[in-house]
Amino acid sequence: MVSKFDNLSVDYGEAHKRSRSVVTRQTKRISILMKNHGIAVHEGVGRFTSARDVVIEPSGETLKAKHIILATGARPRPLPGIAFDGERVINYRAALDLKQVPSSAVIVGAGPIGMEFATLWSRYGSKVTVVEMMPHVLPNEDEDVSVEAERQFRR
């Protein structure tokens, strides 16, 4: 894509490569920081066996704690009857791996992740349409913020 300025061009593929490099570096740094501060990470699926006990599967290890924080992260959810096919219907994780901006895209869901992709791809020249069932974009935010954000996104 060539920008409004004749002497400036942008390369999404290079930006993508750089972003993946930054993520890899930051992930390693966070891992080192956690290790240095005595924070243990347990990979697997946790299951509560009491208010203070969590069993980690598949290892079967039991963790005991007075306070437990559930940090579940985000998980892509397909629309009923529309499966992710990895080509025409993708989730945000697959979108992160795209090395080219789609020429056009319909983004279902105007939450933070959907609006981030809408903004990024639009700036790289994609024709983007966002579909949201709630009255405004960023529907979980304060309504004044949501309304103003929507106004800015439309511009």
pLDDT band at 2; cut points 50, 70, 90 = very low
Question: Cα–Cα distance between 138 and 93 in angstroms, integer?
Answer: 19
SS (H, E, C) 28-51: HHHHHHHHHCCCCCCCCEEEEEEC
Own/partner contacts of 7-10, CB < 8 Å, gap of 24 or more, are: 10/124
Span 61-112, pLDDT tens digits: 999 999 888 777 778 889 899 999 999 999 999 999 999 999 999 999 999 9
Question: Cα–Cα distance between 50 and 70 in angstroms, integer?
Answer: 14
pLDDT at 3 over 60: no
Which tokens sit at 93?
A: 């994780």
Span 49-63, pLDDT tens digits: 999 999 999 999 999
